[in-house]
Amino acid sequence: MSSGGRELRGSAFPSVLGTDGDIDLTGELASPAQDERPTNRPSGDAWVIDRDRRSLPPPAAQPPTLPAPAYDESGTTTRDEVHREIADRFALGDYAGALSAAELQLGREPEDDEIRRYAESSRERLEVRYATRIGSLDYVFNVSVAASKIKWLGLDPQAAFLLSLVDGQTSVGEVLDLCQMGRLEALRVFTELLDANAIKRVA
């Protein structure tokens, strides 16, 4: 009996002894069978297939499709659409937006009486809104920020001139008359200065 034990003849298991007598743990398992041909078929393992599927990048998201606006043959928004937009803005209390759209439409069609009425009504309601925010045109205000910080308010020349008239002695109504601005624009600027705490009431 040899030290390595009897060798099983005809065994299906490969020998662990190499040709030089050393132990070879890989044996014949390391090399493919000679009669077995390589194949490129994908693995039938469901987990591998799912892993490969999950590793693919997601499809690109498609932007939502928005309804196209109504255009006439010239490529511009139709007159009815403009009227509807102005009417909707006015009904929602967006008088500044309604006035801006109405003035733009009047620039294209000066004879549009319906839009002119919307523009006038929007202007009147904005004036009432600004005057209500101020309180009274008889009030007197004074500048409440240091002269060195006025430049940070970002005022245009007309607004800066209006602010220079706020001196603690001149009423709001007098400032509106002296500022050389349209009444609505002057009221808007005055209200913005008040909201920014750049001016305060003194009387």
Please calculate the CA angle 99-103-109 and round it to the nearest 5 degrees. Answer: 140
pLDDT in tens, the chain (203 residues): 544 444 445 555 555 555 555 555 555 444 444 555 555 555 455 555 555 555 555 544 444 443 444 444 555 678 899 999 999 999 999 999 999 999 999 999 999 999 999 999 999 999 999 999 999 999 999 999 998 888 888 888 989 999 999 999 999 999 999 998 999 999 999 999 999 899 999 98
Cβ atoms within 10 A of the Cβ of 119, count?
A: 21
pLDDT at 164: 94
Rounded-to-integer distance, Cα 64 and Cα 50, Å: 30
The one-character DSSP state at 64 is P
Contact between residue 172 and residue 115 where contact means Cβ atoms under 8 Å apart: no
Q: Supply φ then ψ for residue 62, to 5 degrees.
A: -90, 130
- Pairing state of beta strands 167-171 and 140-143? antiparallel
pLDDT on residue 84: 94
Residue 156 and residue 148: Cα distance in Å, rounded?
A: 16
pTM, whole model, 2 decimals?
Answer: 0.60
Cα distance between residue 198 and residue 190, in whole Å: 10
Residue 115 makes CB contacts below 8 A (sequence gap 6+) with 82, 83, 86, 102, 105, 106, 109
Cβ proximity of 141 and 201 under 8 Å: yes
In sequence order, the 6+-apart residues with CB closer than 8 A to the CB of 158 are: 179, 180, 181, 185, 189
Are the C-beta atoms of residues 95 and 155 closer than 8 Å to each other?
Answer: no
Number of H helices, E strands in the chain: 7, 3
